[in-house]
Amino acid sequence: MSNIVNFVTATYIDAEIAEYEGHPLINALPAINSPEKTAELVRRTPIICPEEVALPAYIRRHAMLRIMDRFLFPTKAHLQLEQTISSMIRQGYLSRNIKDKTYQETLNRTADFKQNAKRNAGNEALVSSVIGCSGAGKSTAVEAILADYEQVIIHPTYQHVQLVWLKVECPHNASVKSLCINFFRAFDTALDNNNLYEKTYVKARSNAEFLLGDFAKVAALHSIGLLVIDEIQHLERSTAEASDTILKFFVQLTNTIKLPILFVGTPKAYELFSPTMRSARRASQFGSINWSRFNTTNNTGKGSEWDRFFTRLWSLQWFKLTQPLTDEIKNLFWDYSQGIAHVAVTLFYLCQTRAITVGRELINKDLIDTVFNDELHMIRPMIRALQSGQQKAIDDFGDLEIPRAALIQTDAVYSDDEEVTNTEATDKDDLTKLQQLTNMLEQMGIGEDIAPAVAEQAVSELPHGNLFELIAHINNLKEKKLSKLKKKKPKPVKLIPAYIENDLRLMMSSKGETYKTMKNEGVIINIFDYL
């Protein structure tokens, strides 16, 4: 590694809880974020310089590009994602302590990685998923949260190079070898080691199975805290054999070296995870976040998450005279974007550039109609499908909508200064939450007879918890707690044998005289008497 001096040297902070004490890999991480800190961390607001407003239109267009790549508005989904990432990294490190023998034990387990190929991930697997429609901002949110962590940390005392996170995109051809190549390239980029790992492990005739094992060894060597697999829906394009091989490998990683994995993808990923309950559980051991477009219920009302999002977006104007926001405009943008954040941002940028180009700095219905039809015509069929509300039309576009059976509504978002949550749930809300939780548990493979009891117990123990917190709570329950909820098996009844006259069972002798007894009773005859 040529540029090790460029990486951050570990600075250890006091552990927040007892479990994290004495774990250098955990203690070198930043402090656990509060909700307010998370909102501050995620929020991105482009700067508009007053002097730029007076610039010619062709120059102002360049400044407006900040809207496209420097605007991010935090929602409750961002909070859930940050909590998930923070918890997964730390929990994954608990059993990988470079300070004691557990680190060497982890390395030893990877020596014969193939041997563990059929092992189940079990309850300790730290796997989660973020599934949402294309353009909803999933990948951007993940990157914004990961940016809070130094990717590489040097531990001189332990002569160890820690890789806190690694983000890899699933290849379009979804082959095992291509995925492995992406793994090693991501390693080399993060460690700035002149493609050392790709040169070492990737050869023209490299076997895919051995490549997976090599990746596991390198991952264990550098103590990866979180592996992010983006665009996981690409696996759908692979053969059933290749897809199953990769999914089993991910399960191996979580089981053998306790490596947490976060899948990020579009709703097509549900087709990948749902063939069996076992594979569905692989994607939700640590809770699954449905990153849907802005909620369609009360979407344009004052104080809704769409209202907060679009109000902030609308303030980013390079007009000479700032145009006030009206309900008509807000509703029009909703209609043309259908709550997809990226579409709304793009449409707003294009409307603003069109307005200053034609010399009439005003965004109205006619302009919005024109811009949408002229410049966003490629996505019109998808938007029309969402506008129709017909599931059949929506299903024609696999990346648009999360399946209704898997949908979890998240209605609250952050305001500028506070977290908007409702901790005082009504009885009706509790009932809905209980039903949703029960349905989710059944989807995770918990039987219909057990799921209601598990859900009820979780809600009673965590009455103010949201669905995400309840699922995490249930996943941490010991197996013995779940077993108490199962129906007791009936005790076997000991049968008393009934004997008949000359019963052969009574003629059996433990003293080796069975033959003599059976002959005396006439059961055994002398064949010569009949010749």
* Integer CA distances (angstroms), 333 to 28, 251, 363, 388, in order: 45, 42, 11, 16
What is the distance, to the nearest Å, from the Cα of residue 119 to the centroid of all Cα atoms in its chain? 22
All residues at 6 or more sequence positions from 167 whose CB lies less than 8 Å from its CB, including other chains: 142, 143, 146, 186, 228, 230
Q: Could you write out the three-class secondary structure of 208-267? A: HHHHHHHHHHHHHHCCCCEEEEECHHHHHHCCHHHHHHHHHHHHHHHHHCCCCEEEEECC
Among 242, 377, 312, residue whose Cα is nearest residue 46: 312
Scan for tokens 């605007």, then name that residue. 71
Scan for tokens 């069109």, then name that residue. 354
Q: What is the mean pLDDT of residues 275-296?
A: 59
Q: How far apart are CA 386 and CA 75, in angstroms?
A: 22
* Integer CA distances (angstroms), 480 to 462, 476, 477, in order: 19, 12, 8
pLDDT for 103 beyond 90: no
**pLDDT band at residue 449 under the 50/70/90 scheme:** low
**pLDDT band at residue 29 under the 50/70/90 scheme:** very high
For residue 158, the one-letter residue type is: Y
- Run of H or E residues at 168: strand 165-169
pLDDT for 130 beyond 60: yes
What are 49-59's pLDDT values in tens digits?
999 999 999 99
Specify the pLDDT at position 117. 42
Spatial contact of 141 and 85, defined as CB atoms under 8 Å apart:
no
What are 188-210's pLDDT values in tens digits?
999 998 889 999 988 877 777 78
pLDDT for 167 beyond 90: yes
Give counts: helices (H), strands (E), the chain.
25, 8
Q: What is the mean pLDDT of residues 265-285?
A: 59
What are 391-447's pLDDT values in tens digits?
777 766 666 655 544 443 333 333 333 343 333 333 334 446 676 777 667 655 576
Q: What is the mean pLDDT of residues 162-179?
A: 88
Q: What is the mean pLDDT of residues 69-95?
A: 91
Higher-confidence residue: 360 or 6?
360
Cα end-to-end span (Å), the chain: 96
Structure tokens at 528: 């010569």
